[in-house]
Structure 1
């Protein structure tokens, strides 16, 4: 997913190489590259259109300060780099957490957190990191439930990560995801 996005932004930047300012005419092809990469990464069409509209609104007519500082040294910034920066800022804004913090169930009842996302987007690793955070910083006793039966190696990966952080992993070899989750929740109640 990230490789696809990186390629799209690189293509957009290359299209804008040599332009002196960002205009509607010269960013249309760059926006097309970004749109294609977002759609290839399975970003929903409505989200993609909204994202591109915000980027276009901020980019068109943008006055580019060609001298910027990075880590204390001056660097030259052109319209192409400014366009990519606008895209990055909008991506960060789009993915920023603005919701309520997790409300934990009263002990001893477990709190269920389901990880959902595209294949290869880091759900398994994030689940392990979240389990470790909940244990270390919130005093919880997490249980990782291995319900990804579609991806080869997913259960084994979660078991390895669980062992590394000393968090138990519940799995049912050959089970169905819904049944695994139900039985995992029942198991968590016993812990």
Structure 2
């Protein structure tokens, strides 16, 4: 079973992200579930130095993840679920980012995204998905399938940090 893990930002602050992700999953006829009482993955706690609290939070989530493939639209959740649960709990979760799923669906002709090739679009590599998890190509491939990708001067490994993953957006946004 596929579990769509929305994450704190998409669940609470930028609900348009979770709504759009769910529309895409439904359009692709993907059976998925969400957690009625979804809790934080622990990312912000880890990044702000509350490691023991993060580990407690992560342990509390494990029962919800058992036997599921997790897809998330949050880069911080992706990095935490994929790498930090293994590092701190020894648990190897099956996690994919929505950009990776979209890339796969496009390649398999299971979804047809409408776009405008005349439209110039740029992409900011998040620290968590890019530098930390090493995923640079999936988001670019999805964008290139629907528009004209124009790279920023500082991209991929050299992208500038926006501060969100370290809690700046949560505290001040």
TM-score category (smaller protein): under 0.3
- TM-score (normalizing by structure 2): 0.28
- TM-score (normalizing by structure 1): 0.26
**Which of the two has higher C-alpha Rg?**
1
Higher strand proportion: 2
Name the structure, 1 or 2, with higher relative contact order (CA <8 Å, separation 6+): 2
